[in-house]
């Protein structure tokens, strides 16, 4: 029988990686806040729009007042670097636990590395987001080196959607960031519970997890024979409820 490293992970308590809840519903965030294994929060304009929020600043300030002691990432929403800089400075004032998310490029593919360098030099905590290549990791690591605490969010899940194995990608990214103790790697956009275990196994610092995926944490370590039986019972219940006949 093969003894894979992740076979020793039987519950959320066995995870070394930090779990950040990914969402923009205040009530949902507060529910996650009550769970000690949720150690931070991330949002983005897409999630905030889906939540029906129209006043970005009021929402951000309310979240920080409600959750003052865990890192929370809010993303700028301009496509112009000068305006991104202004928004970043404003967001940073919402609270000491705020990390400002800056996309690695604007929509024209122009790099935000120099903007990130300036913001870090001014003392802002950044979460540089939407990275998918190792070249991007190299460039942003150099820009953030020696600055305040920062996160680099590599979208491993989206890379996997293209057929790329995210594990070697993220392991190499960890190696790139290893010389920079102020920078932590986020495994972003996980698609399944296995990704949390994979990220934990390679020593990734943080993984962002949606509420739907967090709800599956109780499945960690579940006996597969028992799970097989549960599945058979589910099929049987649904067949009986349908009243199928042949």
Residue numbers annotated as active site: 101
> Helix, strand or coil for residue 216?
coil
**CB-CB contact of 106 with 133 (8 Å):** no
Rg (CA), the chain: 20
Which residue, 118, 140, 142, 120, is CA-closest to 130?
A: 140
Quote the tokens at residue 232: 């058979």
Strands 38-42 and 206-210: unpaired
Q: How many CA atoms are closer than 13 Å to the CA of 240, on its beta-carbon side?
A: 6
Sequence-separated (6 or more) residues with CB below 8 Å from residue 120: 126, 143, 144, 147, 148, 150
């Amino acid at each position: 029988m093969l003894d894979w490293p992740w076979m020793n992970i039987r519950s959320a308590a066995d995870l070394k990686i930090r779990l950040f809840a990914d969402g923009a519903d205040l009530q949902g965030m507060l529910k996650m806040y009550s769970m000690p294994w949720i150690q931070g929060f991330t949002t983005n304009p897409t999630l905030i729009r889906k939540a029906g929020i129209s006043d970005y600043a009021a929402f951000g300030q309310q979240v920080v007042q409600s959750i003052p002691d865990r890192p929370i990432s809010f993303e700028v929403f301009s496509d112009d670097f000068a305006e991104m800089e202004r928004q970043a400075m404003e967001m940073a004032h919402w609270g000491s636990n705020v990390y400002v998310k800056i996309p690695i490029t604007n929509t024209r593919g122009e790099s935000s590395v120099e903007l990130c360098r300036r913001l870090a030099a001014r003392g802002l905590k950044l979460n540089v987001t939407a990275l998918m290549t190792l070249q991007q990791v190299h460039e942003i690591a150099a820009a953030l080196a020696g600055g305040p605490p920062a996160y680099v969010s590599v979208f491993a899940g989206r890379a996997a959607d293209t057929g790329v194995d995210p594990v070697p990608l993220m392991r190499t990214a960890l190696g790139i960031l290893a010389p920079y103790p102020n920078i932590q790697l986020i495994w972003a956009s996980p698609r399944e519970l296995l990704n949390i275990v994979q990220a934990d196994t390679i020593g990734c610092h943080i993984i962002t997890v949606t509420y739907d995926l967090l709800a599956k944490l109780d499945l960690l370590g579940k006996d597969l024979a028992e799970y097989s039986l549960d599945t058979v019972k589910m099929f049987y219940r649904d067949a009986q409820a349908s009243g199928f006949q042949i």
